[in-house]
Structure 1
Amino acid sequence: MIEIKTIEFARPLAGSAGNAVYAELKRQIVNLELPPGTPLSEKEVSVAFNVSRTPVRESFVRLAQEDLVLVLPQRGTRVSLIDPEMVLEAQFMREQLERAVVRLACRDFPEDLLAELNRNLALQKECVQRHDTRRMFELDEAFHRILFEGCRKLGTWSVIQQMNANLNRSRILWLSTDPQWTPLYEQHRDMYEAIVRRDEAKADRIMQEHLSLSIANLPVLQKKFPNYFK
């Protein structure tokens, strides 16, 4: 049986078992707890989560729409391999939108969310020392989400998330294999300082350099983990 971390249904996520199973499976796939190529059985997942097969089947359909699982008739379902083309496309979209957002942030950004960015940076600095891959990814995502929130563009952030699955898996893979996280933290810190100083040109340049990290090591990852990629 595949090893799936179960979730507590005393407080179902988003009000239904189907949403809860979907959210947890997606989290485990993105975090590579269920690596690319892992076979998924409706029966095994339903037993692991103590639900019927219906919410599991619905979850597989939603995950397939996001290219996180591959449903093969008569051959079963498995976690999809990371598609390099989709990684590049997601990074392209994210770069265009995030550079625009960080420029907006330099013009007008709420003080309370500026303070939240600063708190996030303090947690990132601690995380670099502990080298907690999952937590660093979460803090990285939170930092960028706060930028969109401060610019009143959370709808745009949601659109980005719909295309981000392959990119996020490659980012997690990179974080888990690269021991040098200090540059990542320093870029976030420099972005924050550019926003405080309202320096649009510097913030834009740093964001471009920062997001290029998402794909800079893609060829290395493909060579090191050939079974994870298409």
Structure 2
Amino acid sequence: MDVDMIEPVAHESTREYVYRVLKANIMQLKLLPGSALSEKDIAVLLNVSRTPVREAFIRLSQEYLLDVVPQKGTYVSLIDLEHVKESKFLRETVEKEVIKLACKEFPSDQLVKLQACLALQKECIEDQNPLKFFELDDALHSTIFEGCKKTRVWSVIQQLHTHYNRVRMLNVANGHDMPRIWQQHSELIRAIQEQDVQLGSEMIYLHINKVTFDLNELLKDYPDYFKQKKLVEKI
């Protein structure tokens, strides 16, 4: 089983560690959609008892990342387009309003953090490092929410975005899309810096809806990763 190991953090319980390792590998597509998981194998791999693995499985199934099929086994959930659709609706609705706030007033120290994220993403494009690019993508959006004092709202979005984020990761992992995303981020930051609400609204619409434009190609290239094999309606 090809799983990237993660170092435990101080005072982290075994249960939390197992959950964190499994979720990271699912979200980063190291554990592919549809692949089978065994409590015993995971316990041996992570050198833990089966109890924290079982607890992590339950928690991940509650987040729709694992499917537990009685008498058959446990599988990494296929990407569900209905979940993606709901997540896109939530994110587009909320981020449109947050960007409006950011374009009216934004702390200078948080603007510096946004510019730093953008510079690091540029390096990721040059180094062809999609995983780090993806992490910085989330960090950039998180900083915008933080600057608008909406940190808890961002946390809620992340909890509900597991299927949406796997689509994003699948696309970024191909590498070819990073320059376009970087350009959109650059324009978002310019909108905040120049207090241009119209530009900010236009760019966040394009940025969030990019997943809609990407899905048909991803469904064609990775049909086994998706619950639905074609787009029945516009996401």
TM over 0.5: yes
Moved more, 158-167 or 171-180: 171-180
CA distance in 2, matches of 1:20, 1:56: 10
Aligned-residue offset at 1:221: 0.8
> Deviation at 1:228?
0.4
1:173 aligns to 2:180 (yes or no): no
Q: How many residues matched? A: 227
Where does structure 1 differ by over 4 angstroms across 4 or more consecutive aligned residues?
A: none
**For residues 32 and 150 of structure 1, do their structure 2 counterparts lie closer, same or farther at Cα, with a shift above 3 Å needed?**
same
Among candidates 55, 58, 62, match of residue 59 of structure 2: 62
The residue aligned with 1:4 is 3
Q: CA RMSD in A?
A: 1.2
Q: In structure 2, what residue type is equivalent to 1:198?
A: Q
1:33 to 5, 9, 30: 30
Equivalent pair of 1:4/1:45 in contact (CA under 8 Å): no
Structure 2 residue runs of 5 or longer lacking an equivalent are: 228-235
What residue is the counterpart of 2:233 in the other structure?
none
Shift of 1:6: 2.9
Conservation of the 8 A alpha-carbon contact between 1:127 and 1:136 = yes
SS of aligned partner of 2:195: coil
Q: Distance in 2 between matches of 1:6 and 1:175?
A: 21
Structure 1 stretches lacking a partner, 5+ long = none
Contact 1:6 1:48 in 2 (8 A): no
Percent of matched pairs sharing the same residue: 44
CA distance in 2, matches of 1:15, 1:229: 33
The separation in 2 between residues aligned to 1:6 and 1:71, in whole angstroms, is: 23
Equivalent pair of 1:195/1:203 in contact (CA under 8 Å): yes
Partner secondary structure for residue 68 of structure 2: strand
**TM-score, scaled to structure 1:** 0.95
Corresponding residue of 2:86: 89
Cα displacement string for residues 46-74 of structure 1 (whole angstroms, at most 9, x for unaligned residues)? 11111111111111111111111101111
Q: How do 1:136-155 and structure 2 match up within 5 A?
A: 136-155=133-152
